[in-house]
Amino acid sequence: MDTYANDAIKEVFEENWNLTKVVFLSKAEINALKETGDKTYAYLTHFNARQIDQRSMYIDKQGRSSFIGPGPINSVKHNYTAFTFSFCSYELEIFNKKNKLQSVTEIGFANGELLKIDYLFLCQQLDNLIGSASKDVPAKEYYNVERNIKKNENSKLILLSDFFREKDIKKMDSFYENEYELVDMEKYQDIILSKESGKGYVKIIWSHHHKMYMWTVVNAEDGAVISQMGFGGIKFGKNHDANDIIKAKHLSYITSKMAQKINNKY
């Protein structure tokens, strides 16, 4: 991690983390603690990764192919890489009762170029997940589609202009019927870091559950994810980085019960 990243994550967690004490150690120091099996710590570390989606097809001697096995008569099974996604992730680990290092959760980002707003998102997600788990909050209550839709309808949607094509920006009123505001990067960051109430902001993430890039709406006040949608238009056989252009016509899915129930796990 560079100096900016070290300073940013330290500042964010010192100001916002209230569940436990927090210390900041180098990778070598963390690995040394893991080697000793030290249970007094929960370990939060980051890594860059690729998600490779391997699939199979069946091809016969005439070159006919099928994606459903066993395929045509006398066909041969071939494995191929359908998608390769690049992303960055933070993983929280603890030692369980069997003294084995166990992953508690992972928070994914679309790339490793994280800003202070991303570290705040990380801190808030961990706080929300661990806090809810300690209270035995059911998954359907933690991410409640009906409640989230009402929250979005009653909040101002903050949209970073860079996420949208200029031709879509001109027609934004026809794509989203609730209150919204298009902002530049400076104002976008200010709203998030000041945790303004009554506002939700659009954020692009990597979803470990869906194994794909998602764009979400995040409640600016507490970091709760209150809407999520996957990107379309992914092409087979390609290496993919995060698509940073959101189709404005899909903003209507934010308050669509059907769309949100399809993507109802975060």
Task: Quick: pLDDT tens for 66-102.
Answer: 656 666 666 777 665 555 667 889 999 999 999 999 9
Query: What is the pLDDT at residue 248?
Result: 86
Contact (CB, 8 A) for 192 and 186: no
Contact (CB, 8 A) for 254 and 203: no
Q: Which residues make Cβ contacts (< 8 Å) with residue 187, sequence separation at least 6?
A: none
Which residues, given as ranges, of the chain have pLDDT below 50? 233, 235-237, 266
Calculate the CA 21 to chain-centre distance: 25
Query: What is the pLDDT at residue 264?
Result: 64
Pairs from 54-61 (Cβ < 8 Å, separation ≥ 24): 54/79, 54/80, 54/81, 54/82, 55/79, 55/80, 55/81, 55/82, 56/80
Query: What is the pLDDT at residue 117?
Result: 97
Instruction: State residue 120 phi and psi, 5-degree precision.
Output: -65, -40
Contact (CB, 8 A) for 202 and 225: no
Contact (CB, 8 A) for 152 and 178: yes
Distance CA 188, CA 158 (A): 7
Query: What is the pLDDT at residue 103?
Result: 96
Distance CA 102, CA 225 (A): 25
Contact (CB, 8 A) for 61 and 74: yes
Q: Which of 194, 48, 170, 180 is nearest to 113 (CA)?
A: 48
Query: What is the pLDDT at residue 92?
Result: 97
Task: Quick: pLDDT tens for 194-211.
Answer: 999 999 999 999 888 877
Query: What is the pLDDT at residue 89?
Result: 93
Distance CA 98, CA 101 (A): 9
Cis-peptide into 70, omega within 30 deg: yes
